[in-house]
Amino acid sequence: MRSSSWSVARRLAAAALLVAMSGCGRGLYPVRGTVTFDDGSSVDRGLVVFESADGSMMARGMIQPGGGYELSTQKPGDGLKPGRYRVLINPLDLSDVPDEQKLLPFDIKYTRFQTSGIEVEVKSGPNQIPLRVTRPVTGSRRVN
């Protein structure tokens, strides 16, 4: 008799674990947008990263040709929970660019959360969040 109650307890624990795991993706809303320069031309390469104000949540998305991005947290395109986020934009791997041409396509300040100056609000429902960057300031263009 004791063996069957132990079996029931294990089944209940496994079921509770499955229910808890299935709820991990709930409350996420799609976040899409474009990354453009001040003149309206698109940033065609890089990575957009959103981080919650308290640092507890992060999502990222590749910048596609034409400047479009879509954020992913746990699975492709799942988005983020509602809240305030700070943003950074990384130019990614420039290894295919000759050393003398390794210039950032945008101001270096956008490569860090602390200096990008971009903060956005993600709301319940689909989010369309355009991001605008400036061209590099003289002296901050070179990537080491």
Kindly list the domain boundaries of the chain, sorted by start residue.
Answer: 31-133
What's the pLDDT score for residue 11? 53
Confidence of residue 9 (pLDDT cuts 50, 70, 90): very low
What's the pLDDT score for residue 107? 92
Residue whose C-alpha is closest to residue 133's, from 54, 40, 63, 45: 40
Q: Are 88 and 116 in contact (CB under 8 A)?
A: yes
Structural class in CATH, domain 31-133: mainly beta
Whole-structure pTM value: 0.74
| Res 15 pLDDT > 60 | no
- At 71-118, the pLDDT tens digits run 999 999 999 999 999 999 999 865 555 554 457 889 999 999 999 999
